[in-house]
Amino acid sequence: MASFLSDFAGSGCLISEMQAKSDAQLLRQYAVEKSEPAFGEVVHRHADLVYSAAWRQVGSQDLAGEIAQRVFIDLARKARSLAGSLREEASLAGWLHRATLYAALNLMREERRRHAREREVMRELHSASESVPDWNSVSPLLDEAISALDEQERDALLLRFFKNQDFRAVGEALGVSDDTAQKRVARSLEKLRATLQRRGVTTTTAALSTALASHAVQAAPAGLAAVWISASLAKTAMQGGAIFTLLKLMSMTKLQLSLGAIVVGSMAVTMVNEHRTESNLRGENQALRLQLASALADNKSLSDRVGQASTATPLPDDQLRELLRLRGEVGMLRQQTNLLGSLREEVRHLQENKETANDQSLEEAKFRGRRVSLVNAAKIMLTAVGTYRSNNNSVYPTDFAQLDLAGAGFSRNIPLDTFELVNVGKVSNASPWAIILREKTPQQSPNGSWSRMYGLSDGSVQEAIPPDGNFETWEQNWEQNHTGPTAAGGP
């Protein structure tokens, strides 16, 4: 008991000593001695100021938390040079306020640049008319082709397409700017395309990008990650790895426990809002589990110590005040524990919603990719039909065998029986809107609508999506609206 009271009194003296020092003295102590309690006291003093200023600038709790984190990281990095320029009793309030405004401005600029780049990439993907390469042809060659890239290009490609990170996250991981990360990914894609082409897979950079985004990542079966983690930690423990015991947790000072609770909460909130991909959500869930267990251990330790102190002989007034403050911190720690539990539940919901959205988006992307391939194949067949008409007095062919599809560049990845000829053996009319080719069987998209491809006399392809799914009515209306002098003269 005497040892406990001694430690308790020492902890109280340390806190009082920190509170009596100025910001400049605390920062100098941290810069020279690497004193974490000194830096923690600075953070405690100015956390509300920095967070409030950041929130006013960006209007978002999540972004305000990120800005505050950047400001205090910058303070720790510049502690030595800044401490040398401050008066002995100087406050850091002014410097932190300016740093917060600067960090908020930089973050907003980064967000605008990131959104602009993502919109540009989406426009490029939607405007690309080339066919997506056959994944069955790319897949066996992909990993060998990626390993042939140099280390920086390989890391950029894997982070962008295999970890589903945006250019901002790729740049941070590689230690470069967003623009440099985007250029590095584009260069890696081009080299990968060239390598695949030498192995017989012909495609374009945009089409390869679409294929990687759709097929590169296969989700691991649910539950396997937890099995891997448990097995790895158990193996490490058997081999004498570092083991954190309850005694070590009990040796933490009251100030460190309070700082730990705040850091745990802020880190959990930041993780939930910033990392939205499936793999990162799983990692966050595991991290929250570990933090929750640590917080529960801290809670029990503090509760035990409070109970011991409360059953002892009456304490002097100063120690009694410290005891009451310690009880208050136990309550705060319990709140942090409850917060971690709710965050864990939120992560689970986010993961479920993300998996559902990913499945729907993947199916839609696959469907649109197949439709793009079908459009390109139809255009090639229309070219072959046009050549046949020119050589046969404007008469339509009666069979696909009459067409020189190989000479027109038709790919056998699309079966011929996908299409059927219309007006076979007839003399073509003057209308560029006449239907001469159509998809044999309409296709249903993941959203439930039905569509059918039609090849027209002018060599273009029209996709019909009637609201009621009646393609006979659609064809009749098309012929009625695109016949006569107006249709014959073109649009």
Q: Where are the domains of the chain?
A: 1-124, 134-215, 364-488
Q: For residues 339-365, give the mean pLDDT.
A: 74
Tokens of 259: 């700082």
Instruction: Read off the pLDDT of each residue in 379-385 and give the average, rounded to a whole number.
Output: 85
134-215 has the same fold as 1-124: no
At 269, is the pLDDT very low, low, confident or very high (cuts 50, 70, 90)? very low
Under 8 Å between Cβ of 456 and 436: yes
**Lowest-pLDDT choice from 5-19, 174-188, 271-285:** 271-285
DSSP notation for 162-211 = IS---HHHHHHHHTS-HHHHHHHHHHHHHHHHHHHHHTT----HHHHHHH
248 or 479, which is more confident? 479
CB 468 within 8 A of CB 454: no
Higher pLDDT, 226 or 68: 68
Closest CA to 350 of 295, 279, 292, 287: 279
Is it the case that residue 423 has pLDDT exceeding 70? yes
pLDDT given at position 480: 81
- pLDDT score of 230: 57
Rounded Cα distance between 274 and 62, Å, is: 8
Q: How far is CA 121 from CA 118, 210, 370, in A?
A: 5, 11, 20
pLDDT of residue 410: 72
Q: What is the pLDDT of residue 100?
A: 94
Dig out the tokens for 298 from the structure. 């801290």
Q: What per-residue confidence (pLDDT) applies to 460?
A: 87
- pLDDT tens readout for residues 327-343: 766 766 776 677 777 77
* Residue 325 clears pLDDT 60, i.e. is over it: yes
Give mean pLDDT, residues 426-438.
Answer: 74
User: What is the rounded average pLDDT of the residues 68-73?
Assistant: 92
pLDDT of residue 11: 53
SS3 content of the chain, % helix, strand, coil (to 5): 70, 5, 25
Q: What is the pLDDT of residue 232?
A: 56
- If one counts every other C-beta atom within 10 angstroms of the C-beta of residue 404, the result is 12
Q: How confident is the model at residue 43 (pLDDT cuts 50, 70, 90)?
A: very high
The reported pLDDT for the residue numbered 8 is 43
Least confident of 97-111, 375-389, 473-487: 473-487
pLDDT of 315 higher than 80 = no
Count the neighbouring beta carbons within 10 Å of the beta carbon of residue 132.
26
* The pLDDT value given to residue 228: 53
Long-range CB contacts (within 8 A, 24+) of 83-86: 83/24, 83/27, 83/28, 83/30, 83/31, 83/32, 86/23, 86/24, 86/27, 86/28
Q: Picking from 79-83, 312-316, 319-323, which range would have the lowest pLDDT averaged per residue?
A: 312-316
Instruction: Please give the CATH topology (third level) of the domain spanning 1-124.
Output: Rna Polymerase Sigma Factor; Chain: A (1.10.1740)
Contact 368, 125 (CB under 8 A): no
pLDDT digits (tens, 9 = 90+) for 455-487: 888 888 888 998 888 888 888 888 788 764 433
Fold of 134-215: Arc Repressor Mutant, subunit A (1.10.10)
Please tell me the pTM assigned to this model.
0.30
